[in-house]
Amino acid sequence: MANFKELRIQNISQGVLAHTFIDEEPILKLTSPSLKVVHNFTQKSPLRATENTTISQALKLVSGDKSDYVLVTNEQQNLLGLVSSADLQSAKITIIAQRLGVKNNEVSLSDVMTPITDLAGVSMQSLSYSCIGDALQTMEHQGVMFLLVTTAHNEICGLISAREIARKLQIPLHITPIAQTFSDVIANVEHPH
């Protein structure tokens, strides 16, 4: 114990107990820092499932983890896309099953996911000097429900969910998906969001 020093002792005979402070979640506003709503994957691993996971399996994962989304990966853990919990429970599943000629429980995440090529990303650096309103404005303009967050080395390190922002701030969402392909246009006509 020669490497340590002794602390100064205080007289506590007249001491009173300190008050307990409840660590409440801070009230968020559109002007709060964007970083307050980032799901940081370096702090908590995101919910992942492989592309051939069925919708019913994914629903169990989402409800058990209380997550808004599932990241869809291949066997090598490369990110292929994303599926929202809302999509897992939507009429979109029935439409896709009919189109594929399979039963609803045979539809896989690869059939439903938004591919990584259609997802929007922002850098953690740009989020560090932005507010929640900026992130929401970006999602509205891009027609996306999620923003993937990247490091300076273009690694995906987090995600922002529009639904979570709306829930936490108790505000309505005004995001209209932007069709990327003709089949997206047909899907939106068959099943508007």
Tokens for 25, please give them.
Answer: 């979640």
Q: Does any domain span residue 12?
A: no
Q: Taking Cα atoms as reference points, which of 167, 136, 143, 158 lies closest to residue 30?
A: 136
- Does residue 57 fall inside a structural domain? yes
Residues with pLDDT less than 50, the chain: 185, 191-193
Domain limits for position 146: 34-182
In a domain, 187, yes or no: no
Number of domains in the chain: 1
pLDDT averaged over the chain? 85
How high is the pLDDT of residue 24? 61
193 located within any domain: no
Could you identify the residue written with the tokens 């402070």? 21
Asked if the structure places residue 11 within a domain, the reply is no
d(CA 81, CA 180): 15
Q: pLDDT value at position 38?
A: 94
Task: Tell me if 17 is assigned to some domain.
Answer: no
Q: Is residue 138 part of a domain?
A: yes
Residue 1 placed within a domain: no
The pLDDT tens digits of the residues spanning 43-99 come to 999 999 999 999 999 998 888 888 889 999 998 989 999 999 989 988 889 999 999
User: The domain that contains 157 carries what CATH number?
Assistant: 3.10.580.10
Residue 137 and residue 126 in contact, taking contact as beta carbons nearer than 8 Å = no
